Amino acid sequence: MSDGAAASWPGAAARAAGRTLRIGHKGAAAVVPGNTLEALERAAALGVDAVEFDALPDGRGGLRLAHDPVDLAARPDAPTLEQALDRLSEPDLAHLGIDLDSKWPGDEELIVAALRERGMLDRVLVSTMEVATLRRLRELEPALRLGWSVPRARRNHLAHPATRPVAIAAILAARRILPARLIAALREGRVDAIMAHHALVTPAFARAITPHGELHVWTVDDAPRAAALVAMGVTGVISNDPRLIPG
C-alpha cells in the first residue's frame, strides 16, 4: 500500500505483473453494511487494492450508493456519489482504485461530471451491464476505463432451486458463446475490462480473455473459489469479504 498518494486505476499494472487485485464489493459488505462510507473505510483497513460500489439514480437528479430501488428505499439517506468520491479523495483512502458500478442507463453525464470535477478520471473503472451506458461513456470521455459486466442479470438465479437448472444451462452456453464477443469488445477498445460472474470463469475462459484486457470476477464469497481464481491469473477478485482473497 502507498502512503496516501493519489492512485490511478491499478488494473493495468496488476495485469502486467501477473498479480490479482483484491477488490471490496460495496466496500466490505460482509463486514459492515455495504454501499456506505464506513464500508469503504473498512475495506481500506482490510488492505484492498480497490473498492467497488453502486451508483443508482435517486429520483431527485442525483446518484446514491445503492444497489437497487429496494435498497435505496430502505436507506433514503445513502451517501451520494459526490460524498463517496470526496471521502475517497481524502489522504487515508486516496491510494484505492475505484470500481464504480453504474446501475441504470442515462446517468453517464452525471458520472463523468463528478469524476472530472475531482480529477479522478484516471483512478476509476466504471463498470455496468448496460451496453448503451458503455457506448455513451466512451463518447463522453474516451480516456475513461470501462468494464462490461456479464452476464446481464438483475437476480442471482443460481441461488434459487426453481431457477438453478436453467441458470446452469445458461452459464454453460455463455462460456462457449461469450468469449468471442468479449474479446472483440476489448480488441476494438469499446471496453477495457470484463467483469464476469464467478460461475462463468474457468481456466479456459480466463486464458481466452486475459491476453486482451482485464478480467475481474464477481462476487466471490468462498475462500477456495477465490484461491482458484487467483491461480487462474484473473486480474481482480471482487468479494463482500476481501479477507477471503489471497494476498
Domain spans in the chain, listed from the N-terminal domain onward? 11-241
Q: What are 162-188's pLDDT values in tens digits? A: 665 666 778 888 999 999 999 999 999
- Provide the H-helix boundaries in 96-222: 108-117, 131-140, 164-187, 203-209
**Distant-in-sequence, close-in-space partners of 45: CB < 8 Å, separation ≥ 6:** none
pTM: 0.93
Q: Residue type at 163?
A: T
- Give the up-direction half-sphere exposure of residue 71: CA atoms within 13 A in the CB hemisphere: 17
Q: Which CATH architecture has domain 11-241?
A: Alpha-Beta Barrel (3.20)
Q: What are 84-123's pLDDT values in tens digits? A: 999 999 999 999 999 999 999 999 999 999 999 999 999 9
Per the prediction, the chain carries an average pLDDT of 93
Q: Look at residue 1 in the predicted model and tell me its pLDDT.
A: 36
**Distant-in-sequence, close-in-space partners of 109: CB < 8 Å, separation ≥ 6:** 140
